[in-house]
Amino acid sequence: MSNRLIRTIAWWEIACGITGIALFGALYFGIVSNSQAILDDMGPINYYAGVAFFSFVIAAGRALLKGSPWGLGASAISQVLQVVSFAFLGGPQVQIQAGPLLGIKISSNYVVFTAGFYSSFFLGTRVAGPAFEVTVNVLAAIWATYLMRAWLRVRRAGQAAA
């Protein structure tokens, strides 16, 4: 895995983690209009889990920049969490994103290719919208695969040296 790709992934994780923390902080301090209503809808579990997720992503990105084996594993985990997002009307909704998205969204109404830059965290119930939506972040899947392979290579080299 090239050092350039690792640095790119690390900087995306750091930038999107900071963006997520900043957005949640803006809600907490009332900088965003209707922030109290948004926080009430979000709930404390989503708020604190989101802050923990974005903090983990920032730590993983920093460790990845420093060349730590822990950074490879942690970054792989943070990318795996972002591969699939889904929502079912009247049922569960999971959207965990902290980075770029290149993927495909399949819905009860349409199929589209998606691209964007996301910092979002939501676990809950879908109360409005299409009957179902599933988004597969192909970029996160590719990055997770590369990071996992690099992490396993480093672990095998460490075990062979011991």
- What pLDDT, on a 0 to 100 scale, did the predictor assign at position 154? 87
CB atoms within 10 A of CB 6: 20
Token pair for 92: 């569960």
Per residue in 8-33, pLDDT tens? 999 999 999 999 999 999 999 999 89
Rounded CA gap, 126 and 94, in Å? 9
- What pLDDT, on a 0 to 100 scale, did the predictor assign at position 118? 87
Q: Helical H runs in 66-137?
A: 69-80
Residue 131 DSSP class: S
Name the average pLDDT for the chain: 93
What pTM did the predictor assign? Answer: 0.90
Per domain, the residue ranges of the chain are 3-161
| pLDDT band per the 50, 70, 90 thresholds, residue 161 | low
Q: What is the mean pLDDT of residues 31-49?
A: 92
Per residue in 73-102, pLDDT tens? 999 999 999 999 999 999 999 999 999 999
- What pLDDT, on a 0 to 100 scale, did the predictor assign at position 121? 92
Rounded CA gap, 133 and 25, in Å? 29
